[in-house]
Amino acid sequence: MAETNWQFVGKIEDLKSRPLQQIEVSGKKLALSYKDNTWGVISGFCNHVGGPLGKGCLEGDYIVCPWHYWKFHRQTGIGQPGYEENRVQQYETK
Ligand code: FES
């Protein structure tokens, strides 16, 4: 079984203050979201041409890339319906 390398990213109360933000873990930019008492972490780079997903906005459970508006599910990283193959990396949280 693979060992998970958990990283501390901040105090919960601080992180809850914004529904979507860019964080950096071990030099990697990630998009952290908090909505309906659940967290989501996906890659901070859009797989179109690298837009900063953590600086986009939330539309329902989708993060909207600020550059050309592609959408990715905030917890699974899967592209919006009809574009599911446009998936970005998803990360576990606890
Ligand atoms: S870089 Fe994200 S939609 Fe183009």
Give the model confidence (pLDDT) of 16-67 as tens digits: 999 999 999 999 999 999 999 999 999 999 999 999 999 999 999 999 999 9
| Pairing, β 20-25 against β 28-35 | antiparallel
Consecutive H or E run containing 93: none
Ligand 1: list residues with CB < 6 Å.
Answer: 46, 48-51, 65, 67-70
Rounded distance from Cα 2 to ligand 1 centre (Å) = 32
Domain regions of the chain by residue span: 12-91
What is the rounded CA–CA span in Å between residue 46 and residue 12? 25
Q: Tokens in use for 5? A: 């390398």
The lowest-confidence range among 4-13, 19-28, 49-58, 84-93 is 4-13
Give the number of the atom of ligand 1 that is nearest the alpha carbon of residue 68: 3
Q: What is the predicted pLDDT for the residue at 36?
A: 96
Q: What is the predicted pLDDT for the residue at 71?
A: 98
Q: Tokens in use for 92? A: 């576990």
Residue 12: phi and psi, rounded to 5, are -55, -45
12-91 is a CATH 2.102.10.10 domain: yes
pTM, to two decimals: 0.93
Rounded distance from Cα 4 to ligand 1 centre (Å) = 30
Nearest Cα residue to atom 4 of ligand 1: 68
Instruction: Reply yes or no on whether the pLDDT at 1 is more than 60.
Output: no
